[in-house]
Amino acid sequence: MTRKSRLLAMGGAVVVAALIVAGWLMWKPAIAPVSPPPASSFDAQTKLAGARVVALGDCIVCHTAKGAQPFAGGLPLATPFGTIYATNITPDSETGIGNWSLEAFTRAVRYGVARDGHLLYPAFPYLHFTRMSDRDISVAYAYLMTREPVKETAPANDLMFPLNFRPLLAFWNVLFLHPGEQTADASKDAGLNHGKLLVDGLGHCASCHSPLNAIGGEKLGHAFDGGIVDGWDAPALNALGSAPKPWTMEQLVMYLRSGRASEHGAAAGPMLPVTRDLATVPEADVQAIAAYILSIQKAQPAVMGAATDGAGHVAGHADPSPAAQRGAILFGASCAQCHGPAAPMQSIGERPTLAFSTAVNATTPRNAAQMILSGNGWHGEDSMNYMPSFSDIYSDQQIADLVSYIRATYSQHGAWQDVEETVAKVRQENNAR
């Protein structure tokens, strides 16, 4: 046999072996369907426990499209690789999970495998849910199986090639999925262990607040360093102690339970509905989450925060640029009524100054632009988080001018670069959703 023939044979053997391994990794058997369990088969205490687990997992946030029935899916989830549509998790037998057994549900939560054997995309955070206890999984199943069945099929996912080829997820899971219930850390007390389980498991906080690598996995060694979710910057959770006004335990608990905190402002974007879920769970759970988050703070480079006097006036940095000057006029026309130092909403309504805003002091102008473009919708009697959208009122340049003025006036950080390009990109992303 010639050298070339040997090399070809060896190459063929490697390909065959790779295909065998791939087939073994990709193939997952279907689990037999069951008849939907009657709601009466679950007692009230189990359903109540399930409601807590589902709220902590933010299930309704991702599995409910705008204006649609709860848990019926269809919500578009924007990723760097395309759009994934959340599935129906109501107990409808045809389009939901009504014919899933507890075994099938547990496999999906722990391994990202659907009842029929196809692999689920990790927009469903099974990488974190795998750490849930068997008890939490079973009560979540009970709660979902007692919801109103809704016949609704989610749109087809729109992902770039080759990521739209589901079997490749088998290789991705080998790299990133480490299944199994989380155990207590003997070096931490019970409260911090409880918080770690909720943050790393049910709450899956790192899935939004961590940067992703080139193939969509959480970047190793950068947990909680901040990420991007649905067009918003998810701030670094390990830098809260380095904010212009460092977060306190009381403020963080209040923020997580109400969507607002003194000296820090209001939740917006994808975080706002999360706080509405957390408002329904026992306060002890939120206190544990806050305590664990504050325990993972990292030393940050020394930066100068915004300085204010007792009246809330800000000592920003002078910006004589034409953009900031134009922005000052826009601020006076549209923003000063609520955010100016003498605004009743600050002097009477106890709204915090923009000087302490995470968006204003961020490293990029994305959230400041997103807040002005998208606003915060009106939610019935709860008007504290409300802010109108200016997307249809101001052009990209006008919003960029306004963002530049706010940065210069309310922060001692340096001016942002390429602000108008960021505004245009954010608007384009919003319009594509």
Each residue of 343-372: pLDDT tens digit? 776 666 566 788 888 899 999 999 999 999
pLDDT of residue 17: 46
CA distances, 7 to each of 12, 14, 20, 202, 245 (Å): 8, 10, 20, 50, 65
pLDDT of residue 251: 95
Could you read off the pLDDT of 9-29 as tens digits, one per residue?
A: 454 444 444 444 545 455 689
312-335 exposure pattern, b = at least 16 Cβ within 10 A, e = fewer: bebebeebeeebbebbbebbeebb
* DSSP H or E segment with residue 233: strand 232-234
Cβ–Cβ < 8 Å for 406, 306: no
Which residues, 6+ apart, have CB-to-CB distance to 39 below 8 Å?
145, 146
Interval 330-342 mean pLDDT: 87
pLDDT of residue 248: 95
Local confidence band at 4 (pLDDT 50, 70, 90 cut-offs): low
pLDDT of residue 317: 57
Q: Can you give the pTM of this predicted structure?
A: 0.86
Interval 81-108 mean pLDDT: 95
pLDDT at 338 over 90: no
Interval 95-123 mean pLDDT: 96
Could you read off the pLDDT of 126-145 as tens digits, one per residue?
A: 999 999 999 999 999 999 99
pLDDT of residue 311: 44
Could you read off the pLDDT of 53-75 as tens digits, one per residue?
A: 999 999 999 999 988 999 999 99
In whole angstroms, what is the distance from residue 68 CA to residue 186 CA?
44
List of domains in the chain? 24-176 (no CATH), 190-295 (1.10.760), 307-432 (1.10.760.10)
pLDDT of residue 305: 47
Interval 44-58 mean pLDDT: 97
Tokens (6 digits) for 315: 């000592």
Q: Which of 231, 229, 268 is nearest to 426 (CA)?
A: 231
Interval 88-105 mean pLDDT: 97
17 versus 2: the higher-pLDDT residue is: 2
pLDDT at 183 over 90: no
4 versus 231: the higher-pLDDT residue is: 231
Could you read off the pLDDT of 270-283 as tens digits, one per residue?
A: 999 999 999 999 99
Mean pLDDT of the chain: 86
Cβ–Cβ < 8 Å for 195, 291: yes
Quote the DSSP letter at residue 185.
Answer: -
In whole angstroms, what is the distance from residue 348 CA to residue 118 CA?
56
pLDDT of residue 306: 47
Could you read off the pLDDT of 190-225 as tens digits, one per residue?
A: 889 999 999 999 999 999 999 999 888 999 999 999
pLDDT of residue 238: 96
In this structure, of 231-235, 319-323, 382-386, the range with the lowest mean pLDDT score is: 382-386
CB count, 10 Å around CB of 346? Answer: 18
Residue 85 backbone phi and psi in degrees, to 5: -105, 130
18 versus 186: the higher-pLDDT residue is: 186
Peptide bond preceding 322 in cis form (omega within 30 of 0): no
pLDDT at 153 over 80: yes
Cβ–Cβ < 8 Å for 70, 78: no
Interval 385-411 mean pLDDT: 92
In this structure, of 29-43, 98-112, 384-398, the range with the lowest mean pLDDT score is: 384-398
pLDDT of residue 18: 44
In this structure, of 92-106, 122-136, 382-396, the range with the lowest mean pLDDT score is: 382-396
pLDDT of residue 413: 87
